[in-house]
Structure 1
Amino acid sequence: MFAAKTAFAAPRSGPGPAARPSMPLPPLIALSLGYFMVMLDVTVVTVAVPGIRTSLHAGAAGLQWIVDGYSAVFAALLLLGGGLGDRLGHRKVFLAGLGAFTLASIGCGLAPTTGALIATRLLQGVGAAFLVPSSLALVGDTYPERAVRARAFGIWATVSGVGFASGPVLGGLMLAGLDWRAVFWLNLPVGALAVLLTLRYVPGPAPRGRSGPASATPPSRRVDSASATAPSGPGGPASAAAPRAVRGRFDPVGQSLAVLGLAALAAALNEASGAGWGSPLVLGAFGVAALALGAFVAVERRLEAALIPRRGHLASASRPPRLPLLPPSLFRRSGIAATAVIGVLLNLGFFGLLYLATLYFQRERGYGPLATGLAILPAAAMVLVSAPLSGRLTARFGPYRPMAWGLLLGAVGFLGWLAAGTGTSYAWLLLPLVVTGFGVPMTVPAATAAIMESAPADGAGMASAVFNVARQVGNAIGVALFGTLAATGGSLVAGVHLSAVIASGAFALGALLAWRTGRRADEPLEYPQLRPRVRARPRTPKRPPPPPQAP
């Protein structure tokens, strides 16, 4: 039923059972700690908002930028971070992101004004956008065996889920005896440990597109003037000792358009629930996003088309071509396109309803910040069981079965929120929290494995960035849409009911898409070979055979 099953099965040698491949933990711990900090700061700051308001005399607009500006910058720069990792080396970009995030956390803890705190929170978003795609790509590079890599993705998702779940609880506990600045100082020991473990245990792969021997650069990222003109076979490029690789140039136009379009889209969605979907600010931001992203697609298509060799064009080997930031051919693979859509649907349903659940417990039930975090904790705590299980199931069956199973569980769990009311007992809501909390962590590692398996060898960072951008967009859409439904549905409970139905439908659609994609799963796609266009050589007409000799 699912074609990817054999791709993840561990190879066997001999008649006996194959030995289970080892999975060294120090590199995985180093790479997971970076994502732990990113997910922790998504939720821990929400608990500190009252203290920030009192200490810095921050207004409503300033508080919104402190909370949402981090996520907006993170989403806007993910594609840039993934592309830089593919070109400069994922270890280097990961360490740069870790350093920026840790230094920004120090700035947040020392911020004397609202403006300074906003600026350092935006810098945290920059660091997060650089370290997350490279972290995921380094997990794939460090654990090349497919079954081990699937289990590693499960552990990686578990650690990030623990960071997301522990944010409200840790924030509440630290605020009970310390100042709000303590939530940012928490990142210092975690960041320092991640840097030390990365330098000690994570290998540094060769950067993409750097000049040097052919073996140091993947074939699909080389532009070799000799191979573009010399014939293949004996004496051609296949037998050359070390052809010189030329570095492709950056794509500044595409990078700028991607950042502008994603930033405008994130700003529009963040403002939609408060200002209204029809406000001039929101409509203007949506317009800027549409124009910028449309131009981005056109630029990337043109740059990728220029890399495909065609007859009748002059060679330009003296000037290397520009490499597209996001090659459109990446989405011709069903594994990448479908998993990106599933990422949107996943975060739309889960984080959108999680946002309403927080409002429900605080407004309808009168819970405080710490009590709300503890009420939601059973859903978040299921990651400790579900994510490792997903990694094992993915190693055995491939990514699409666990993905479909997790999404179906989530769809059923969301329907349990239809029982929520003003006086509903918490025990009635515990089951939907647990079921949904079990389904989502089962989906994320499998989806991560699916998109990384479908990625080209030199595009792991970009594939990771695409998946994370899709999830961030889904997150923003879910919060904006469900927040609007709660505000305009007559009551918060009515908004929760309608949002639960929409979230369940989104997860059911994602499960169907995962099932269909698993049936036609295929091999990864490489980027088009980057060779300059060359003028076709005139063909030498074949000489006619000599006339037969007279006997």
Structure 2
Amino acid sequence: MTRTLEVARTGSGGLALAAISAGYFVVILDATIVNIALDRMAVGLHTTVTGLEWVVDGYTVTVAALLMLGGGLADRFGARRSFQAGLGFFAVASVGCAVAPEVGVLVAARVVQGIGAALLIPASLALIRFTYPDAAARARATGIWGAIGSTAASCGPVLGGVLSESLGWPAIFVINVPVCAVTAVLIHRAAPSVPGVAQPIPVSGHVAAVVAMAGVTAFVILAGARPVRPELLTVTVVVASAGLLLGSVAARAGKGLLPKGLRRERVFTGGAMIGLAQNFGFYGELFAVSLYLQRHLGYSPALAGAALLPEMAVGILASALGGRHAARRGPRAVIVTGLTVGAAGLIGLACISVRTPYPMVAIPLLLIGFGMAYTMPAATNVTVSAAGPANAGLAAAAFNAARQLGSALGVAVLGALIPLAPDSLAIPLAIAAAVYLAAAALARSFLPSQGRP
């Protein structure tokens, strides 16, 4: 029996899409809901900014390192089975996060959450593909899936603020459990059960990615810790170097994560770097600003979440405009414009102080959110298109892995800079703005002015 025939025997496509989107919702929600609760976590778990960086990056680095492996497992063992396993990991880890007695246990649980997310994201896209064999219907379903993700990102700060203020920070993790449980039931009933395809998985390449990303991120976080521990920094350098060396050996042996031709494709690698830079600035800024609003402007968690709403909500409109303008004006103009607008917002936010009225805070937040979302459709499309049809899925996974790595590095780097001037956002946000402007210059250098590469 073919996959198409198997899919045709499933239940309601709409119900399946609701379940698929719900699983994706909790993954994206978790990327933003945690930031608002960080200050309450620091008090409750008696930890520092360095500990909070580990809480965020334990999740993000795991997703970045395992995202491509998650796609391979979905192909090998079946998308529905992989999705269900991801839900299980995510739900159990969420309980572990909620009951964590100290920050080390919380970080460990966040790593397990990241494993669940790395299974859920690629499996959700694969399930959409098999639930909607018709290309037009699949495009509409994918659009709904993306809109759900944008909605989750927008809801995260507000929901995180309300929950952490009224029920305590563990509530931001408890909320995942019933969503995962209901989603698991719906997936079992409505989503297509598609058999996997036996194919080799480049284990050495995946191990290299995990080791290298973990080593680099740990180095940046520990470099910003006080007091500095030279012996730990040495260990992280050795680990990162070992990962990079293993990755190089695996690539030469034909067991790397990306085909040789794709690694040498200038537009693909440049597009991945832009995705990394985008998330570096956006999620690094979100980490720093969330703490600043509560620690220095005196905002409650709920008020801080509401204060960040303009930055998150504008993304829904900006993403639609970015896709439309990229088709009309070409990707280079859209990417350069979006990154420049985002950099202007970061510079404006770097200038705020405890005496700055909120409207003057909201304006740069709007610019940052607009710039990030406006750029993303063009950056995604240009990166995947450069890979060609044969490697489109692999390129999409690699692009999203680069974005997740950017998020982790943004939190690590900007978080490490906070102690240098704890009463100001000037240093971390100036660095973020510089990264955006460098990415804009990169886009100008390798992208065509019109059309796809």
Q: What TM-score do you get using the length of structure 2 for normalisation?
A: 0.81
Q: Which residue of 2 aligns with 1:502?
A: 431
In structure 2, how many angstroms separate the alpha carbons of the residues matched to 1:143 and 1:392? 24
1:271 pairs with one of 210, 222, 227: 222
In structure 2, how many angstroms separate the alpha carbons of the residues matched to 1:72 and 1:343? 15
Shift of 1:154: 5.4
In structure 2, how many angstroms separate the alpha carbons of the residues matched to 1:406 and 1:143? 32
From the two aligned structures, give the one with the greater helix fraction.
2
In structure 1, how many angstroms separate the alpha carbons of the residues matched to 2:328 and 2:213? 37
- Aligned positions of 1:453-492 closer than 5 A: 453-455=385-387, 457=389, 459-488=391-420, 490=421, 492=423
Shift of 1:365: 1.8
Q: Which residue of 2 aligns with 1:85?
A: 74
2:438 corresponds to which letter in structure 1?
L
1:298 corresponds to which letter in structure 2?
V
Q: Which residue of 2 aligns with 1:262?
A: 213
Q: Contact 2:160–2:305 (CA<8 Å) still a contact in 1?
A: no
Deviations 1:313-372 (A, max 9, x none): xxxxxxxxxx54333332233442122100121112222223332233233322232222
Q: Contact 1:147–1:396 (CA<8 Å) still a contact in 2?
A: no
* Fraction of identical pairs, as percent: 39
Q: What TM-score do you get using the length of structure 1 for normalisation?
A: 0.68
1:98 paired with 2:87, answer yes
1:464 corresponds to which letter in structure 2?
A
Shift of 1:26: 5.4
1:326 pairs with one of 229, 236, 258: 258
Shift of 1:424: 1.8
1:186 corresponds to which letter in structure 2?
I
In structure 1, how many angstroms separate the alpha carbons of the residues matched to 2:416 and 2:40? 27
In structure 1, how many angstroms separate the alpha carbons of the residues matched to 2:91 and 2:37? 19
- Aligned positions of 1:513-528 closer than 5 A: 513-515=442-444, 516-519=446-449
Task: Pick closer, same or farther for the CA change 1:425–1:506 going to 2, 3 Å.
Answer: same
Shift of 1:302: 1.6
Q: Which residue of 2 aligns with 1:164?
A: 153
1:188 pairs with one of 170, 173, 177: 177
Q: Which residue of 2 aligns with 1:71?
A: 60
Q: Contact 1:37–1:187 (CA<8 Å) still a contact in 2?
A: yes
2:162 corresponds to which letter in structure 1?
L
Q: Which moved more, 1:291-300 or 1:59-68?
A: 59-68
Structure 1 residue runs of 5 or longer lacking an equivalent are 1-23, 211-246, 304-322, 524-551
Q: Which moved more, 1:346-355 or 1:110-119?
A: 110-119
CA RMSD of aligned residues (A): 3.6
**SS, match of residue 82 in structure 2:** helix
Shift of 1:116: 5.2
**SS, match of residue 120 in structure 1:** helix
1:503 corresponds to which letter in structure 2?
A
Q: Which residue of 1 aligns with 2:201?
A: 250
Shift of 1:281: 1.6
Deviations 1:215-253 (A, max 9, x none): xxxxxxxxxxxxxxxxxxxxxxxxxxxxxxxx5x43333
Q: Which residue of 1 aligns with 2:236?
A: 285
Shift of 1:38: 1.7
Task: Pick closer, same or farther for the CA change 1:65–1:437 going to 2, 3 Å.
Answer: closer
2:286 corresponds to which letter in structure 1?
L
In structure 2, how many angstroms separate the alpha carbons of the residues matched to 1:201 and 1:194? 10
1:408 corresponds to which letter in structure 2?
T
Q: Contact 1:85–1:461 (CA<8 Å) still a contact in 2?
A: no
- Aligned positions of 1:15-54 closer than 5 A: 28-48=17-37
Structure 2 residue runs of 5 or longer lacking an equivalent are 1-12
1:255 corresponds to which letter in structure 2?
H
Q: Contact 1:169–1:373 (CA<8 Å) still a contact in 2?
A: yes
Q: Which residue of 1 aligns with 2:115?
A: 126
In structure 2, how many angstroms separate the alpha carbons of the residues matched to 1:135 and 1:482? 32
Task: Pick closer, same or farther for the CA change 1:143–1:300 going to 2, 3 Å.
Answer: farther
Deviations 1:153-196 (A, max 9, x none): 65444432332332232123223443543322211332244445
Q: Contact 1:482–1:499 (CA<8 Å) still a contact in 2?
A: yes
In structure 2, how many angstroms separate the alpha carbons of the residues matched to 1:277 and 1:143? 53
**SS, match of residue 422 in structure 1:** coil
Shift of 1:141: 6.6
In structure 2, how many angstroms separate the alpha carbons of the residues matched to 1:401 and 1:155? 26
Q: Contact 2:15–2:186 (CA<8 Å) still a contact in 1?
A: yes
Q: Contact 2:36–2:304 (CA<8 Å) still a contact in 1?
A: no
Deviations 1:399-421 (A, max 9, x none): 55543432232123223235423
Shift of 1:431: 1.3
Task: Pick closer, same or farther for the CA change 1:435–1:73 going to 2, 3 Å.
Answer: same
- Aligned positions of 1:138-217 closer than 5 A: 138=127, 155-199=144-188, 202-203=191-192, 207-208=196-197, 210=198
In structure 1, how many angstroms separate the alpha carbons of the residues matched to 2:422 and 2:41? 29
- Aligned positions of 1:393-408 closer than 5 A: 393=325, 401-408=333-340
1:34 corresponds to which letter in structure 2?
G
**SS, match of residue 224 in structure 2:** helix
Deviations 1:411-450 (A, max 9, x none): 2322323542331222222211112211211222333333
Q: Which residue of 1 aligns with 2:356?
A: 424
In structure 2, how many angstroms separate the alpha carbons of the residues matched to 1:401 and 1:332? 24
**SS, match of residue 257 in structure 2:** coil
Q: Which residue of 2 aligns with 1:297?
A: 248
